Structure 1
Amino acid sequence: MIINRKEMARAKLEKLKNGYSAFAETQEVAEFIEKELEKLDLPVHIDRTEHGCWFIPEQSKS
C-alpha cells in the first residue's frame, strides 16, 4: 500500500481547521503542515516529541 504523505498532511490540516488536534508521524508530513499553517495564518501550538509532532489549535482569547 502506497501512502501519499501530502494527502495525509492535507487531511490533518482539515482537522486543525475544524479545531481538532493532529499528529504527524514523519518529519516530511510535519514540515508540509507547518508550511501550510503559515499560509493559513492559523494559530497552532506545535509540540515536537521524539516520535513526531503534535499540532494543537490555539483557542482565541475573547
Structure 2
Amino acid sequence: MLIMNRKRMVEDKLDRLTKGQTAYAESRELIRLVKREIQNRQIPVLMDETDSGCWFIPQKNTTTPSDEQLAQM
C-alpha cells in the first residue's frame, strides 16, 4: 500500500491550479484541505463536487476591457 503525505498532495493540487490545470481529489479529507488552501490563497476556482470526488477547475482572471482597448478593437 502506497502512503502519500497529505500536505504534499495538497501542494501538488494547488501547483496544478496555479499553472491553469484542473485537479481532482477523491477523499473528503483531501477535498477539505484543498478547499481551505484555495480560500486562504484566494485562487479563483470552480468546484464540481460529486459523491465520488471533486474537480477543481481554475478560472482565468476576467477583466473588462478599458475604453482604450475597446477603441483598438
Task: Give TM-score, length-normalised by structure 1.
Answer: 0.89
Task: Give TM-score, length-normalised by structure 2.
Answer: 0.77
**Relative contact order, higher structure (CA 8 A, sep 6+):** 1
Asked if 1:39 corresponds to 2:5, the answer is: no
Number of the residue aligned with 2:55: 54
Number of the residue aligned with 1:25: 26
Alpha-carbon RMSD across the aligned residues, in angstroms, is 1.0
Return the offset for 1:59: 2.0
State percent identity of aligned pairs.
Answer: 39
Distance 1:61 1:17 in 2: 15
Return the offset for 1:6: 1.9
Gaps of 5+ in 2: 64-73
Kindly name which structure, 1 or 2, has the bigger radius of gyration based on alpha carbons. Answer: 2
Moved over 6 A (4+): none
